[in-house]
Structures are given as C-alpha cells and as structure tokens.
Amino acid sequence: MYLKRLIGLLFLISGCQTGNLNVIADLPVTLNEVSGIAIDQSNRVIWMVNDSGNKPLLYGIDGSGNISKTIKIKAKNRDWEDLTMDPSGNLYIGNFGNNDNDSKRLSILKISADSIASSKTSLKPEVIKFKYPEQKKFPPKKHKRHFDCEAFFFYKDSLYLFTKSRSPKDYGRTNLYSLPAKKGNYEAKYIATFNTCEASDCWVTSADINAKGNKMAILTDNAVFVFSELNTNNFFESKMKRYSFSYDSQKESVAFKNDSTLYIADEYQGIDGGNLYSFKID
C-alpha cells in the first residue's frame, strides 16, 4: 500500500491534473476510504472518518494533512458515511450507510464537545436511532430503494439527512429528512425530493451548511450543488448553482471552510484520489 501511495503522489506531482480542485494535502494511507470530514475551529483540526469495514476511529488532521489526534469511538463502524458539527462543538457521526436498503440499525453517534476537547483517547457516544417511516420492506423492490444515506448536517436543533438512491433508474434522486439532534429513537420526517442527474456518479455522497446558515452544499462525484438564500422550510426551494468537476474521482466528503471555499475529500483508488482539496464557489 505504501508503494502504491508513493507512486500515486509522484504521478500527481508529475502531471496528474485535478482541474478546478486545488490539492491541499495528500491524505495518509490510513484514510484511504475517507467518508466524512468536519472542520473543528476550536481544536484546530479537521475531523475525518473511514466508512464500513474500518475501525471505529475518529482522526484529527492538521493543516498539512497529517494525523495529529486519533480517538476510538466505543461503537461499531457499521457504515460511517458522513460527519457534522454543531455550533457548540458537538460532533455527529452518520452511521447510516445502507447499500442494500435492508438495515434496521440506522443511527447517528453524538460525541460531546467536552469529550472531544479532553485528552481521552476513547469515547462513548450518545446514540440517535431512527428509521424511515416510508420504508415497509427490508429491502424494498429495486425501484423503491431510496433509503441509503451518505450525507447530513446540523442546523438549529435538528439533523438534516440526504438519502442516496439505489434505484437503477433513479440514481440522482435524494430525499431530504430531518431528525432531532439528541439521544432517542425517532422516525425521520420527510421534507422534499431533489434530483441531481440520471447517472451513477450523481449519487449524493455528502452535504454541509455554512456557519451563517444561508448556504448549503450537496456533493456528488461529478459536481457540487450550492443552494443560497436558503428557504429553511425546504432547502431545495432556494437559489441553486451547479459546479461541475473536471477531475473524475470518488468524492465522499464536503465541508464549508468559509462562505466562498469548500473542502472536499475523495477516496484513494489506485493512483487517483486520496486527497483533501479546496474548491472555490460564488
């Protein structure tokens, strides 16, 4: 694996073009399946996690892309797919990946700000359990498989989830749901539906909202959709601009650095990806 990463880095330096994505850091091999990022200004790190099949670890990355802190989360990494933070510094891990649409163990893990700021290297989360009330079968028929999820963020007192469609004829569909951001067992509340495009690289893989709460980004492999002048009753009924990527990779994570810059991370695949990028928006 080390040799592959070295080859990949040399390829990047010698001419691999990432188009309109500016490489900030070549991520450590440990994060070759990065699936979520969250910017923590208080602790001066970017938190990252890997997805299913990896250890239940939370990684703190410094400005150079090095791992400066590692925390074990006392919960199974069934399928961790995104990260978000609230204004108080609490961190949420989306343990809601559901590729086959057959899971009844969907949850979000909440890590308190005080715990994160402590010197502890092992933390127990609060668990927010939920289900989609529209789902009646596990799994449903293929054309009804809209209950995978890889994207969410915190806004005010709630968590907003963006599903990932596994229906072969409806890859670009994402359903927006909300949940209370506190320990409990809930039915997710359906809000609205949005379609990105019609191909498999239209899957929604991450989402974030800026600190002011007036811009939202949802990520796919081929583009990021930025919504502004937000209608907070239905984010999709807002001004929207699509930004296409000229670099093809498996993009899994997005976070607002500020109102005009996004951080984006992709998985490492051969000599491609495995980087943290910055991306300019209006």
Taking 70 as the threshold, does the pLDDT of residue 2 lie above it? Answer: no
Of 6, 7, 4, 8, which Cα lies nearest the Cα of 273? Answer: 8
The whole-number pLDDT of residue 168 equals 86
Strand-strand pairing, 184-187 and 126-131: parallel
**pLDDT one-digit tens code per residue, 190-205:** 999 999 988 778 999 9
At 12, the pLDDT band (50, 70, 90 cuts) reads very low
Structure tokens at 180: 């209370």
The whole-number pLDDT of residue 121 equals 94
Q: Which helix (H) or strand (E) holds 276?
A: strand 275-280
At 10, the pLDDT band (50, 70, 90 cuts) reads very low
Among residues of the chain, what percentage have pLDDT more than 70?
A: 94
pTM score, whole prediction:
0.93
The CA distance from 218 to 205, in Å, is 8
Among residues of the chain, what percentage have pLDDT more than 90?
A: 87
Q: In the predicted model, what is the mean pLDDT of residues 39-47?
A: 95
Structure tokens at 27: 């991520």
Taking 70 as the threshold, does the pLDDT of residue 265 lie above it? Answer: yes
The whole-number pLDDT of residue 201 equals 82
**pLDDT one-digit tens code per residue, 85-131:** 999 999 999 999 999 999 999 999 999 999 999 989 999 999 999 99
Taking 80 as the threshold, does the pLDDT of residue 272 lie above it? Answer: yes
The whole-number pLDDT of residue 16 equals 54
Q: In the predicted model, what is the mean pLDDT of residues 74-84?
A: 97
Q: Which helix (H) or strand (E) holds 215?
A: strand 215-219
Q: In the predicted model, what is the mean pLDDT of residues 259-267?
A: 97
Judged by DSSP in three states, 124 sits in: coil
Q: Which CATH architecture has domain 2-280?
A: 6 Propeller (2.120)
Taking 50 as the threshold, does the pLDDT of residue 4 lie above it? Answer: no
**pLDDT one-digit tens code per residue, 139-189:** 999 999 999 999 999 999 999 999 999 998 888 999 999 999 999 999 999
Q: Which helix (H) or strand (E) holds 13?
A: helix 2-13
The CA distance from 36 to 83, in Å, is 5
Mean pLDDT of the chain: 93
The CA distance from 150 to 254, in Å, is 11
Q: Are 234 and 207 in contact (CB under 8 A)?
A: no
